């Protein structure tokens, strides 16, 4: 079984449209993919529609919700969500508006720093409902203000950098609650660099956390082993995926590039069937 439970499309900051991602995943021999765009479900219906052409490929509706704690950003994945829920969509609309306003403010700040990009330049890269910093970074790169996407974050738009602007954010506990309310499986995403991870896990378990991302493309086998132990110790389901965006030409990350054990995939699927 080949699966990838963490993928982005043009609905947020991925390079491929949902249909293109589905096609690529099928051609790479994947059996299961989850669409997990940042703060939007806009890619799900197009992906499900495109998947009708590939009966061997299961597409799981998902999301990645951006949240914040005092130490910084925490992302919560939600697999198997009811993406039609009016409550969920109302919340996501609020997130989307805040992202738009914040992107405009970031462009204004950049212009004061002599990075003279236009909001329309950013929109060229943001075709979906969830506009984010990677779209701004791509506009900066295209116009030669930086030489890598990373440089944009390091110098200008990373948290605490001169052109950074806050946006509306909820807490991880609130995101977990929302995901549970819409029948989803809440998973703590790419947890390895969170400070005081164990105490956060205990806190989030109280809030209803069920899973943790262990098989993450960027992690060494030592990190995966450590996270797998944490998962077992805390009774959390494991998840995994590539976090494929496709926008960084230097990145070797592709859909399905991280191996996820069959028993881990089976446990995730059986949770999906139960909700």
Q: Which residues bind ligand AMP (CB under 6 A)?
A: 13, 38, 66, 132-134, 149-150, 153, 158, 245
Q: Please report whether residue 13 would count as binding Fe ion according to CB under 5 A.
A: yes
Segment lying near Fe ion (by CB under 5 A), choices 42-50, 71-79, 97-105, 223-231: 71-79
> Helix 197-207 and helix 172-181: axis angle, to 10°?
40
Q: Considering the complex, what minimum distance in angstroms separates the CB of residue 151 from Fe ion?
A: 17
Residue (1 or 16) nearer to Fe ion, CB: 16
- Determine contact, residues 38/175, Cβ cutoff 8 Å: no
Residue (146 or 268) nearer to ligand AMP, CB: 146
Q: Considering the complex, what minimum distance in angstroms separates the CB of residue 63 from ligand AMP?
A: 13
Residue (210 or 213) nearer to Zn ion, CB: 213
Q: How far is CA 246 from the centre of its chain?
A: 13
Interacting residue ranges for Zn ion, rule: CB under 5 A: 64, 243
Q: Considering the complex, what minimum distance in angstroms separates the CB of residue 243 from Fe ion?
A: 6
Q: Please report whether residue 39 would count as binding Fe ion according to CB under 5 A.
A: no
**Residue 37 partner contact from ligand AMP, Zn ion, Fe ion, none using kind-dependent CB cut-offs of 5 to 8 Å:** none
* Residue whose tokens read 């139960």: 274
Continuous segment of H or E residues that includes residue 4: strand 3-7
- Determine contact, residues 65/189, Cβ cutoff 8 Å: no
Q: Considering the complex, what minimum distance in angstroms separates the CB of residue 38 from ligand AMP?
A: 5
- Determine contact, residues 43/10, Cβ cutoff 8 Å: yes
Decide: helix, strand or coil at residue 163.
coil
- Determine contact, residues 56/31, Cβ cutoff 8 Å: yes
Q: Considering the complex, what minimum distance in angstroms separates the CB of residue 46 from Fe ion?
A: 18
**Residue 153 partner contact from Zn ion, Fe ion, ligand AMP, none using kind-dependent CB cut-offs of 5 to 8 Å:** ligand AMP
What whole-number distance in Å separates Cα of residue 212 and Cα of residue 83?
A: 21
Residue (17 or 67) nearer to ligand AMP, CB: 67
Strand partners, 7: 35, 244
Q: Considering the complex, what minimum distance in angstroms separates the CB of residue 64 from Zn ion?
A: 5
Binding-residue pattern over the window 176 to 195 for Fe ion, x denoting contact by CB under 5 A = -------------x------
Q: Please report whether residue 75 would count as binding Fe ion according to CB under 5 A.
A: yes
What whole-number distance in Å separates Cα of residue 252 and Cα of residue 263?
A: 26
**In sequence order, which residues have a C-beta less than 8 Å from that of residue 266 and are 6 or more positions away?**
none
- Report how many residues bind Fe ion under the rule CB under 5 A: 3
**In sequence order, which residues have a C-beta less than 8 Å from that of residue 226 and are 6 or more positions away?**
192
Residues of the shown chain interacting with Fe ion in the complex, contacts defined by CB under 5 A: 13, 75, 189
């Amino acid at each position: 079984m080949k699966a990838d439970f963490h993928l982005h499309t043009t609905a947020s900051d991925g390079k491929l449209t949902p249909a293109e991602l589905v096609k690529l995943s099928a051609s790479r021999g994947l059996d299961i993919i989850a669409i997990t765009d940042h703060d939007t479900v806009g890619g799900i219906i197009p992906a499900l529609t495109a998947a009708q052409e590939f009966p061997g490929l299961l597409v799981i509706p998902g999301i990645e919700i951006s949240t914040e704690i005092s130490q910084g950003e925490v992302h919560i994945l939600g697999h198997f969500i009811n993406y039609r829920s009016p409550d969920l969509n109302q919340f996501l609309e609020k997130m989307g508006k805040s992202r738009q306003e914040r992107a405009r403010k970031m462009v204004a700040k950049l212009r004061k720093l002599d990075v003279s990009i236009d909001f329309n330049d950013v929109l060229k890269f943001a075709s979906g409902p969830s506009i984010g910093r990677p779209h701004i970074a791509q506009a900066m790169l295209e116009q030669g203000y930086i030489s890598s996407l990373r440089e944009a974050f390091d110098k200008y738009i990373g948290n605490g950098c001169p052109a950074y602007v806050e946006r509306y954010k909820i807490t991880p506990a609130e995101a977990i609650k929302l995901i549970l309310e819409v029948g989803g499986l809440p998973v703590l995403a790419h947890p390895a660099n969170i400070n005081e991870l164990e105490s956060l896990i205990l806190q989030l378990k109280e809030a209803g956390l069920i899973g943790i991302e262990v098989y993450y493309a960027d992690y060494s086998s030592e990190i995966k082993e450590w996270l797998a132990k944490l998962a077992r110790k805390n009774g959390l389901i494991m998840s995994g995926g590539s976090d494929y965006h496709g926008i960084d030409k230097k990145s070797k990350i592709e859909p399905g590039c991280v191996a996820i054990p069959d028993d881990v995939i089976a446990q995730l699927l059986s949770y999906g069937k139960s909700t």
